[in-house]
Amino acid sequence: MNAEETSALLVELAASLFRRGYSVGSAGNISARIDDGYLITPTNSSLGRLQPERIARLDAAFRHVGGDRPSKEVFMHRAFYEARGAACGAVVHLHSTMATAVACLPDLDAATAIPPLTPYFVMRVGRSLPLLPYYRPGDAAMAPAIRDAARAAPAVLLANHGPVVSGRTLLDAVHAAEELEEAARLFLLLRGASPRLLTPAQVDELLATFG
């Protein structure tokens, strides 16, 4: 896909997420790798009303080279691209309600904030969802923690803030963000019920079969 096609898809997927309540106001940001750099949503823009020609363009060193001023979370997206290399073609950050509710709970397992409840959560989001400590939005000090976690996991949960999810393609990252939100909803529904989890062998089988 060239840059124009990628920005058209980004606008379409962002509007779809917004329409379905995954993002409100100007919350959330989305980026995608293009041939000579990256596209990222402008700061303070609504995912529901993006315009392709105003999407920010960054060069391969993440310098702003076109479009509106980029999201203040560029460093968060950059940490994923740097940690995951070719496995990362896009990053989606949302304040989606259920995942953010989980991110506010005390006593979560920091190694895996949401356990392996369903196959699609494991297939799209992976074996673990690291929980990172709270940082203020836009605080570049969180980059090293994100980079460390993203080496082993395609998504992280930021305490009291929300999920950050990567994927090989833009569509993959959006699908994974939707799956994560659904798993968070199930996790909250099942709190106190001691649900049966997928076993380590079942998780291994899913990852070996679906990568």
Catalytic (active-site) positions: 73, 120
DSSP 105: -
Contacting residue, 6, 10, 28, 155, with ligand 13P by CB under 6 A = 28
CB of 158 to ligand 13P, least distance (A): 8
User: Which residue of 12, 15, 16, 43 would you call a contact of ligand 13P, by CB under 6 A?
Assistant: 43
**Do 168 and 84 form a contact (C-beta atoms < 8 A)?**
no
- The rounded distance, in Å, linking the Cα atoms of 50 and 11 is 6
List 112, 137, 143, 148, residue binding ligand 13P (CB under 6 A): 137
CA angle 155, 148, 27 (to 5 degrees): 45
- The residue whose two tokens read 């968060």 is 76
The whole-angstrom separation of Cα 208 and Cα 2 is 31
Residue window 93-122: x/- pattern of binding to ligand 13P, with contact defined by CB under 6 A: x-x---------------------------
**Local structure of 37: helix, strand or coil:** strand
- Residue number, 45 or 128, with CB nearest to ligand 13P: 45
Q: Which region, judged by CB under 6 A, interacts with ligand 13P, from 11-19, 41-49, 101-109, 143-151?
A: 41-49
Beta bridge partners of 94: none
Q: How far is the CB of 1 from ligand 13P (least distance, A)?
A: 22
One of 57, 62, 73, 122 touching ligand 13P (CB under 6 A) = 73
* Interface segment toward ligand 13P; rule CB under 6 A; list 67-75, 102-110, 119-127, 143-151: 67-75
Residues 158-187 that bind ligand 13P (CB under 6 A): none
Q: Give the H/E segment covering residue 39.
A: strand 37-40
Task: Write out the E strands in 50-154.
Answer: 56-59, 64-66, 90-93, 131-132
Q: What angle do CA 122, 152, 126 make, to 5 degrees?
A: 5
Regarding 26 and contact with ligand 13P (CB under 6 A), the answer is yes
φ, ψ at 195 (rounded to 5°): -65, 155
Region from 1-9, 13-21, 27-35, 50-58 binding ligand 13P, contact rule CB under 6 A? 27-35
- The footprint of ligand 13P (CB under 6 A) covers 26-29, 41, 43-44, 71-73, 93, 95, 137
